[in-house]
Chain A
Amino acid sequence: MARRAAAEVRFGEQLTPRSELLRSALVSGPAIAWVSLFLLIPLVAVVGMSFLTRGSYGQVGLPATFENYRRLAGYGLLGYDPLYPQIILRSLLLAAGTTLVCLLAAFPLAYFIVRLPGRFKNAALTLVVIPFWTNLLIRTYAWQILLGPESLLARLASALGLAPAGQPLYPSTLAVYLGMLCAYLPFMVMPLYSSFEKLDWSIAEAAMDLGAGGPQVLRHAILPQVAPGMAAGVILVFIPAVGQFVIPDLLGGAKTVMLGNAIQQQFGASRDWPFGSAISFVGMALVMLGLLLYARSAARRGEEGLL
């Protein structure tokens, strides 16, 4: 550690700690200052705001209380009301469900693409990436057309006796799931694909030679190898899914109000910033918890994290 005080060589330059600090301030400083001012400080303000109280005209002020969190936990002014605990639980379930469905769909898709011959492989992958770069809002409202009262799917559902004729299939939980799967499938396919591409097939072949059946090969020879890709995909899907508000807003109804919709309502129509901040903080905390779990499992496997 004695070297710390002396000049160090950085990419061919002798730099004293002071000059290196100055260099950092000049180069990294502006971006750090920008993100700190416009995001980190506002996020701290959200946490602070969540302890304040809303006045009768939407203004905020003291006293500082845990009232917003109590309300979020279900203990409002009018006794126990499970509305917000339900919203939190529903958001987590939707995010978890979306992640699971994406994983089930992405696994065969990534496997299929990686087994294609070279020139088809790139094309197949590009075809997955294109929807990913296409505006999510557009792809979501398109499901309103696809599930509309006169659409093919609605008529099929009524012919099978699953839904009354002439009715749209949205708003519904199923519609929200369809929209979510459509939005997040590429997020799962891409990391899974890159894991599959690095996969050592000789291990799977060896397992088969030793008499392992299909499920055993999958469980012991393939899954451990693609676990990093699966973990990355789970994070990439779960995190944005927790806070998603456009898809439940356009394809779901009152029964599918999620955290994101609740936040929007408090900052929009209800104009209750303190309560909205409390919901935002819970959303943030859930995501951070997920990331922490991911980082720990990645560390256990001895890899660099996702970032």
Chain B
Amino acid sequence: MKRPSWLLTLGVALLYVFLYAPIVVVIVFSFNAARYGGPWTGFTTAWYGRLLDSPEKLLAARNTLVLAVVSTLFSTVLGTLLGFGLSRYRFPGQKLFSWLMYIPVVIPDIVMAVAMLMFYGLVRQTLGLFELGLATMIVSHVTFQIPFVAIVVRSRLVGMDPAIEEAAHDLGANAWQTFRLVTLPMILPAVVAGGMLAFTLSLDDFVVSFFTTGPGANTLPILIYASVKRGITPDINALSSLIILASVLGTIAMMLAERRQEPRGTS
């Protein structure tokens, strides 16, 4: 077939520029010496140094990480079991439940966020539980992460040859041994991929955290939102640049990991 026309190439190039312009501008402006944004006045790395002096930002960074790590651990275990259970055992109402489990994937995140906010509020009024803060954010994140992990794990299980697990049983392994020694090692790449997806979703989330957090438990996205509402400051650009750097490295690592597991997965 013929080579792409210059018009198509130009259009595609413009789309890439469009996709990357926001990312590039944030990084460039994080090195701008000008105090209140505006035009370029000189190169500086001072804003990065500033970040380390701000206890508020360090705390938010710590909260973001704790939130992402803890919620990922919970949701990876629960989501893997769900994906396994739904593809291996039948129970009454299974079809209905496997549809309901997808609600967090398809519902607008703001609706999910206010539903949780209201639920915590109502429970707090009656039982005194669920004081808004880091804990409620973790619970909320686990809730929307579970289905994503389950989807990834399940798609791997569906493609697996049942004869392998059957062989384990025939050789005398009980259900736990089969899962632990045969199934789990085979689905491990999917479990890791699901966990990485859950981790990224947690890091990216702003809306659910914003509604389910309480005083003193800011995350980086909440902090950025608050600063943007007041007017962008250069140290927020520096902070955002570091988050972008982490995302880019994370994405590349994820792609490389995926590519490495592919040849084994297709055997």
Q: Do A and B bind each other?
A: yes
List chain A positions with a Cβ less than 8 A from chain B: 10-13, 15, 20-21, 23-25, 27-32, 34-36, 38-43, 45-46, 49, 105, 108-109, 111-112, 115, 122, 126-131, 133-146, 148, 150, 181-182, 185-186, 201, 205, 239-240, 242-246, 250, 259-260, 263-264, 267, 273, 276-277, 280, 283-284, 287, 291, 307
**CB pair B204 A39 closer than 8 Å:** no
Residues of B within 8 A of A42 (CB): 115-116, 118-119
A142 and B25 within 8 A (CB): yes
User: Bound complex: CA of A20 vs CA of B92, how far in Å?
Assistant: 10
With CB as the reference atom, state the residue of chain B lying closest to A246: B206
Known: A32-B97, A148-B37. A112 touches B12 (CB 8 A): yes
Q: Enumerate chain A residues within 8 angstroms of B248, measured Cβ to Cβ.
A: 130, 133-134
Count contacts on B: residues with CB < 8 A to the other chain. Answer: 92
Please tell me if B175 contacts chain A, counting CB pairs below 8 Å: yes
Q: B68 CB to closest chain A CB, in angstroms?
A: 12
Query: Can you spell out 22 A-B residue pairs with CB atoms less than 8 angstroms apart?
Result: A12-B165, A20-B90, A25-B91, A31-B81, A35-B104, A42-B118, A43-B103, A105-B15, A112-B8, A112-B9, A115-B1, A122-B255, A134-B243, A135-B221, A138-B244, A141-B240, A145-B37, A148-B38, A243-B109, A264-B114, A287-B106, A287-B107
Query: Which B-chain residue is minimally distant from A140 (CB atoms)?
Result: B22
Contact stretch, chosen from B47-55, B140-148, B185-193: B140-148
Contact A31 B79, beta carbon cutoff 8 Å: yes
What are the interface flags for B226-255 relative to A under an 8 Å C-beta threshold, 1 for contact and 0 otherwise? 001000100000001001100110111001
**Residues in chain B near residue A131, CB distance under 8 A:** 19-20, 22-23
* B101: Cβ under 8 A from any A Cβ: yes
Q: Is the CB of A11 within 8 A of B105?
A: no
In the bound complex, do residue B22 and residue A139 qualify as a contact, i.e. CB atoms below 8 Å apart?
yes
Contacting pair A287 B108 (CB below 8 A):
yes
Residue numbers in B under 8 Å from A11 (CB-CB): 88, 162, 165-166, 169, 178
Chain B nearest Cβ from A118, distance in angstroms = 12
Distance to closest chain A CB from B4 (angstroms): 6
Q: Which of B21, B108, B211 contacts A267 (CB 8 A)?
A: B211
Contacts known (A13-B169, A133-B204, A137-B221); A39 close to B115, Cβ less than 8 A: yes
User: Total contacts A to B, CB within 8 angstroms?
Assistant: 259
**In whole angstroms, what is the CA distance A291 to B221 when docked?**
30
- Report Cα–Cα, A144/B146, bound state, in Å: 34
Select one of A46, A126, A243 contacting B108, CB under 8 A: A243
A28 to B97, CA, bound (A): 10
Contacts of B169 in A (CB 8 A): 11-13
Which A residues are CB-close (under 8 A) to B11?
A: 108
- A12-B166 in contact (CB<8A): yes
- Asked if B100 is an interface residue, CB under 8 A from chain A, the answer is yes
Chain A contacts for B168, CB-based, 8 A: 12
- Chain A residues contacting B228 (CB-CB under 8 Å) are 137, 141, 144, 250
CA separation between A246 and B206, bound complex, in Å?
Answer: 9
Expressed in whole angstroms, the Cα–Cα distance for A259 and B140 within the complex equals 22
Interface 1/0 per residue, B80-100 and A, CB below 8 Å: 011011101111101001001
Among A12, A136, A243, contact of B110 (Cβ-Cβ < 8 Å): A243
Does A243 lie within 8 Å of B102, measured CB to CB? no
Q: What distance in Å separates the Cβ of B101 from its nearest Cβ neighbour in chain A?
A: 6
Q: B79's closest neighbor in chain A, by CB? A: A31
| A35 to B83 Cα, complex, angstroms | 14
Contact of B23 among A24, A139, A181, A240 (CB under 8 A): A139
Contact B91 A20 (CB under 8 A): yes
CB neighbours of B67 from chain A (8 A): none
User: In the assembled complex, which residues on chain A have CB atoms less than 8 Å from the CB atom of B97?
Assistant: 28, 32
User: Can you add 8 more A-B contacts, CB < 8 Å, to A131-B19, A260-B110?
Assistant: A13-B175, A28-B82, A35-B146, A43-B115, A112-B8, A185-B15, A276-B114, A283-B110
- Do A31 and B101 form a contact, CB below 8 Å, given A142-B22, A267-B117? yes
Q: Is the CB of A39 within 8 A of B116?
A: yes
Residues in A whose Cβ lies below 8 Å from that of B165? 11-12
| CA–CA, A291 and B108, complex, Å | 12
Q: List the A side residues contacting B22 at CB < 8 Å.
A: 131, 138-140, 142-143, 146, 182
Contact across chains for B108 and A31 when beta carbons are under 8 A apart: no
Q: Which residue of A lies closest to B78 (CB)?
A: A31
